[in-house]
Chain A
Amino acid sequence: MVVERSNPTINAYLHLDPEGARAAAAEQDAIDAARGATASADPKRPLAGMPICVKDIIDVAGMPTTAGGAGWIRHPEADATVVARLRAAGAIVVGKGNTNEFACGIDGRNPHQGDCRNPHDPERLSGGSSSGPAAAVASGMVQAGIGTDTSGSIRVPAALCGVVGIRPTRGLVPAAGVVPLAWSLDSVGPLAADVSTAARVLDVMAGRERPAPRPQVRGMRIGLATELVDLAEEPVAEAIGDTVDQLREQGAEVVDVALPDLARATAIHRIVQCCEVAGVHAPWFAEQRDRYAPEVRARIEPGYRLGSEIYLRAQRHRLLFTRAFATAIRGLDAVVAPASPVLAPRIADEEITVRGERRRTRPALLSCVAVFSQLDGPAVSVPIGLHEGLPVGLQVIGRPHAEDVVLGIAAAVEAAS
């Protein structure tokens, strides 16, 4: 079993359910037998027999939800809506994936449950907070992971682990049965080894049917977020440049695009998230505050002091940023940017060097993703190669409900890589 071999090193799972997985597989075998050996794929079970890893902030009936915390736990009697849809489509839940504490982090580290480690190099960060699902896919333990993305928690681990991760249009996938991080930013989405599988899983999660993404960019006009490419270390920037060349060879027009004030966008994002996460944790925070890791407590507690006036002012500025972004990309089908400006950093390093400058790891990992999380549209991270054995991810950002466009671009990138 790949799980038994890999998980002790990678720590992708916080809870495994081998008996439940075996029972679900046996049930699938019985369904297959009843349908006959020559039957075509069952349209009612498009994910028949697909093993999946579900981030441990998402309820799975019969398994504990710990949110990666020190003592917080609930025992759900019902599946989260997305899990119910996935199981009805034939997916098999292998277990609950590791996560930063309460999804509050971007690096995949967890002082309570143990860090999730990068399958490409276990001494390096997996990225987070959907660390377990990303690492489980990258190490071949499952075909798909189910994660959440508030600031970049699907796209960053996807980039660092070398898998595809989709942050869908906010609201496309229901969040019922998911422990929130920040209500107005959270988006539930899939991770998988390739674009086609990720898209198929997304469609089930969203309760819709769509044709498979076509790797087609001819005639498209795509913006390159040069300001974010300039933040990236050389191997990442070079890989992005090579990918842009490939998109042009496939018939896309790629033009530089200047995005609205990104520093201000990051400020807005931090304030909104902090105030909302404080609201989420309010029912238990006072009693539990000393059980949080210090860096997580520091992401939550200031929200009780900032107050509603500052929160609402940040949300108003967020709307102005959305309008300015929409104006900036007028005439473009999508925008591309790095998903992470750096290759997976070493777990032991609190700081990293990018283009000769020392930077704290957390803000560096957030620097190319958090700005887009304030928008309502989809963003995908797709692998574009390896540098010295470590993956590089390209981010494709689109307008709300433009999943077909961004996944088509991602499929074209994948086909050329």
Chain B
Amino acid sequence: MLDPRDDADAQVAAELAELEALAAELAEDEVEGVPPVAGPQDWE
């Protein structure tokens, strides 16, 4: 039986790895000059 804390550590590591992989797909050059705040004005 896995210790719950080890299980949690494993889940944290797996989630972090997934999110880092997803972040790598979000290209820096595509958002050059784009502000990091959206709003209703972006629907116009």
Contacts and interface: CB of A to CB of B under 8 A. Distances in A.
Interface string B20-44: 1011011010110011111110111
A239 to B, nearest CB: 30
B9 to A, nearest CB: 9
A313 B43 contact: no
A306 B15 contact: no
Nearest to A307: B23
A399 interface: yes
Given A376-B39, A401-B40, A316 B23 contact: no
B22 A267 contact: yes
Given A315-B36, A400-B43, A305 B16 contact: yes
Given A274-B15, A315-B38, 20 more contacts: A264-B26, A290-B8, A292-B8, A298-B8, A299-B15, A301-B12, A306-B20, A310-B23, A312-B36, A313-B26, A314-B26, A318-B38, A319-B35, A319-B42, A322-B38, A322-B42, A374-B38, A376-B39, A400-B40, A401-B40
A267 B16 contact: no
Contacts of A267: 22-23, 25-26
Contacts of B37: 315, 319
A402 to B, nearest CB: 10
Interface in A320-351: 320, 322-323, 326
A275 B15 CA distance: 12
Contacts of A399: 43
Contacts of B11: 294-295, 297-298
The 4 lowest CB-CB distance pairs between A and B, nearest first, are A316-B31, A294-B8, A298-B11, A315-B36
Contacts of A268: 26
A267 B26 CA distance: 9
Given A294-B11, A322-B43, A401-B40, A314 B4 contact: no
A317 B19 contact: no
Contacts of A313: 23, 26, 28, 31
Q: How large is the interface on A (under 10, 10 to 19, 20 to 34, 35 or more residues)?
A: 35 or more
A376 B43 CA distance: 9
A251 interface: no
Most chain B C-beta atoms within 10 Å of own C-beta, residue among A319, A377, A400: A319
A271 B8 CA distance: 19
Contacts of A314: 23, 26
B43 A326 contact: yes
Interface in A283-301: 290, 292, 294-295, 297-299, 301
Contact of A319 (B7, B16, B34): B34
Q: Is the interface of B mostly helix, strand, loop or mixed?
A: helix
Q: How large is the interface on B (under 10, 10 to 19, 20 to 34, 35 or more residues)?
A: 20 to 34
Contact of B23 (A271, A297, A326, A400): A271
Nearest to A294: B8
Given A322-B43, A399-B43, A270 B31 contact: no
A207 interface: no
Contacts of B5: 290
A333 to B, nearest CB: 14
Contacts of A292: 8
Contacts of A219: none
A302 B23 contact: no
Nearest to A376: B40
Contacts of A274: 15, 19
B5 to A, nearest CB: 6
A315 B31 CA distance: 10
A301 B14 CA distance: 11
Given A264-B25, A267-B25, A322-B42, A298 B14 contact: yes
Most chain A C-beta atoms within 10 Å of own C-beta, residue among B12, B35, B37: B12
B16 A302 contact: yes
B23 A294 contact: no
B42 A326 contact: yes
A311 to B, nearest CB: 8
Contact of B26 (A299, A301, A317, A377): A317
A270 B11 CA distance: 15
A111 to B, nearest CB: 10
8 contacts: A264-B25, A271-B23, A298-B11, A312-B36, A314-B23, A314-B26, A319-B31, A374-B38
